[in-house]
């Protein structure tokens, strides 16, 4: 990792209630005592916690994001959905889009493209997830899949300054398995090669924990991590940050 800001994005998935916000206190304390290092912490809780979490983090450098949003920018008759301007209005500065758990239940590249455009219009930064399944990896289609996801997901988006790519191999999410060093180095370099000179930040996500992060941080051109399971424990999350930034 270089001298750039290192990102630590916590994806709480469908976990957490108001009481879970107490776990932030340790992370707030950590960030206040480690002000000089260049890193950013972004918490992406369920939508129900965006507002109370934003309030709790008000006087800190820690930011809040959502885990998804509807593709329509306008209000509309979409029961159970929230759009990008609604999550922005309650304190989100970021939104995770294209997560494989949503792709698996029917989110297409085209739909993700509309969501990204709507999020940009609302002034949000986008953590755009891409990644291959185990079957695709085994049939050596990783690059082909990533190319398609990037091209379709970012179709006709000229200004990519709000985009952060999160490479998350689907087979790695929540399984404890991580890519081999050489393979991950190659994949990150492939993602980088899909962009012009100024490429977006690239995060790695998939079973990142306090035991493997020291290995993962050595991969060139990784700007940080998207962390699911391990981010629910403030102790483990702080340990991951500490091991990366020292």
Interface positions with ligand PEP (CB under 6 A): 11, 13, 168, 173-174, 205-208, 226-230
| Shortest CB 229 distance to ligand PEP, Å | 3
Q: Would you list the DSSP string of 118-144?
A: HHHHTT-EEEEEE---HHHHHTT-HHH
Which residue, 40 or 155, has its beta carbon nearer to ligand PEP?
Answer: 40
| Shortest CB 34 distance to ligand PEP, Å | 22
User: Which of 92, 176, 151 has the alpha carbon at shortest distance from 127?
Assistant: 92
| Shortest CB 208 distance to ligand PEP, Å | 5
Which residue, 50 or 230, has its beta carbon nearer to ligand PEP?
Answer: 230
| Shortest CB 205 distance to ligand PEP, Å | 4
In whole angstroms, how large is the CA radius of gyration of the chain? 17
- Known catalytic residue: 136? no
Which residue is closest to ligand PEP by CB? 228
User: Which of 162, 175, 190, 193 has the alpha carbon at shortest distance from 84?
Assistant: 162
**Dihedral sign of CA atoms 218, 42, 106, 150 in order:** negative
On whether the CB atoms of residues 12 and 45 are closer than 8 A, the answer is yes
On whether the CB atoms of residues 177 and 171 are closer than 8 A, the answer is yes
- Known catalytic residue: 99? yes
Name the active-site residue from 70, 99, 107, 132. Answer: 99
Which residue, 102 or 221, has its beta carbon nearer to ligand PEP?
Answer: 102
Which residue, 73 or 101, has its beta carbon nearer to ligand PEP?
Answer: 101
Q: Which residues are catalytic?
A: 99, 168
């Amino acid at each position: 990792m270089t001298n750039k800001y290192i990102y630590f994005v916590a994806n709480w998935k469908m976990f957490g209630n108001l009481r879970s916000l107490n776990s932030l206190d340790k992370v707030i304390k950590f960030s206040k005592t480690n002000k000089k290092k260049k890193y950013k912490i972004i918490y992406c809780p369920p939508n129900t916690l965006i507002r109370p979490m934003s309030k709790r983090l008000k006087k800190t450098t820690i930011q809040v994001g959502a885990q998804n949003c509807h593709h329509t920018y306008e209000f509309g008759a979409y029961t159970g959905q929230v759009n990008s301007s609604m999550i922005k209005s309650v304190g989100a500065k970021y939104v995770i889009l294209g997560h494989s758990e949503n792709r698996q239940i029917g989110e297409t590249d085209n739909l993700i493209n509309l969501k990204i455009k709507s999020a940009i219009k609302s002034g949000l930064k986008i953590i755009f997830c891409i990644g291959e399944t185990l079957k695709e990896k085994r049939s050596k289609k990783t690059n082909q899949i990533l190319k398609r996801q990037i091209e379709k997901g970012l179709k006709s988006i000229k200004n990519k300054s709000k985009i952060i790519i999160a490479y998350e191999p689907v087979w790695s999410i929540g399984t404890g398995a991580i890519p081999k060093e050489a393979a991950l180095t190659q994949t990150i370099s492939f993602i980088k090669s899909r962009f012009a000179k100024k490429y977006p930040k690239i995060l790695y996500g998939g079973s990142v924990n306090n035991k493997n992060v020291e290995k993962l941080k050595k991969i060139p051109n990784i700007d940080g991590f998207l962390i699911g399971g391990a981010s629910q424990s403030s102790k483990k999350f702080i340990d991951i940050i500490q091991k990366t930034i020292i």
